[in-house]
Structure 1
């Protein structure tokens, strides 16, 4: 027997069956998403669970955190948390309000659901800034890479009255880059604006000092966002207004 045969890893029957099940489910998920894409805007998406995770992009909707990784926002918000956060963006809004959701597709889904009820004015503009292009099916999508904080369409600069972002990693570098993006997108505060300006940042409690220094006027809100799976790191919400329950 040569060394190659000795080093070759042989899976057990159970492991092979589990691997085949995984590939079968992956194929089914891909087929379902392709069907969803073909339906386009005619299909109302009510939950982030419609989208299957892309593990290569560090997306884990319902899986436990990855061992050895600072998981930050590898999990997505529960529908209840996403809805409450989306409500903060539409409460007191007007038809002149512009709303930006950055790296929080679950919140954007719930924002769309709230606007579909007709209970809130149709905003002048809403945008989802996100790296994963699959979310383009939601409409109002802008490709965004936080490593290039202001590499965005010029006509979106200083446009948005209300901004929510959920940085994907618990690191000073990541938070500072998102602060740069928010500052670039934000219309700012001035007298005579169409509605109350609002900014919301969701990230780990460990990043509190960095957030409060990077985002002027922010305070930690008592609200604690919940995720679809348990996170080892306590999550926190920061805002320049008091969240309404």
Structure 2
């Protein structure tokens, strides 16, 4: 096929495509600027995408979970976040020196230094150095299903060296016990929107001793 036979974009289509790319670039610059602004560094500057089952934690819940991760690691351990991007800016705000890795499917969050692309359907597609190297792992599976929690649990078991915190629907209590030997806590994570399903926190140690009354 010669160059003359190649399909050509109309001027209107080309203009629309250029406008789309320009808007994307402008949005990325806006996000980067917000992340560098001390006034907004502890806020989540992204809009939740419901198609990806994203629901952001309330300010109180984000602060409580981030503070607990910092307490457990004493500001120098390694923290892994699986599908809970709300916590990344909060952690970096409260403890800038903390070593935080965010495993996340949504590539908007690649602007965070600790971002690692993650698809729960391929749970062990991770760097070898992640194996049993994180002092605390906090996971929030994107979908309320046995299949999703089972696969995310594979990731958690691969990465966790010690403490595990899981935030998911209350109906997953038996499966959380079966897969990760986690117990339900009194502490209840809250979101910026009201979810139809009751949401609970599960852990392999007593986090209620530290954060029950902070939400």
Q: 1:157 to 1:40 in 2, by over 3 A?
A: farther
Structure-1-length-normalised TM-score: 0.70
Tell me the residue number matched to 1:209.
174
Tell me the residue number matched to 1:192.
none
Give the alignment partner of residue 53 of structure 1, picking from 48, 51, 55.
48
Tell me the residue number matched to 2:100.
126
Give the alignment partner of residue 89 of structure 1, picking from 59, 66, 69.
69
* 1:1-245 map, 5 Å: 33-37=27-31, 39=33, 42-44=36-38, 45-48=41-44, 50-55=45-50, 57-59=51-53, 74-94=54-74, 96-116=76-96, 122-123=97-98, 125-187=99-161, 197-216=162-181, 218-243=182-207, 244-245=210-211
Alignment RMSD, CA only?
Answer: 2.5
Return the alpha-carbon distance in structure 2 between the equivalents of residues 155 and 36 of structure 1.
Answer: 33
Q: Secondary structure at the match of 2:121?
A: coil
Q: Deviations 1:80-137 (Å, cap 9, x if unpaired)? A: 1111111111104246511101100001221111113xxxxx34x3200001111121
Q: 1:223 to 1:94 in 2, by over 3 A?
A: closer
Q: Secondary structure at the match of 2:73?
A: coil
Gaps in structure 1 of 5+ consecutive residues: 1-25, 60-73, 117-121, 188-196
8 Å contact from structure 1 (residues 36, 43) kept in 2: no
The offset of 1:53, in angstroms, is 3.3
Return the alpha-carbon distance in structure 1 between the equivalents of residues 93 and 72 of structure 2.
Answer: 17
8 Å contact from structure 1 (residues 162, 198) kept in 2: yes
Gaps in structure 2 of 5+ consecutive residues: 1-19
The offset of 1:240, in angstroms, is 1.3
Structure-2-length-normalised TM-score: 0.79
Return the alpha-carbon distance in structure 1 between the equivalents of residues 72 and 52 of structure 2.
Answer: 35
Return the alpha-carbon distance in structure 1 between the equivalents of residues 150 and 134 of structure 2.
Answer: 19
Write out the 4+ residue segments of structure 1 that deviate beyond 6 Å after TM superposition: none
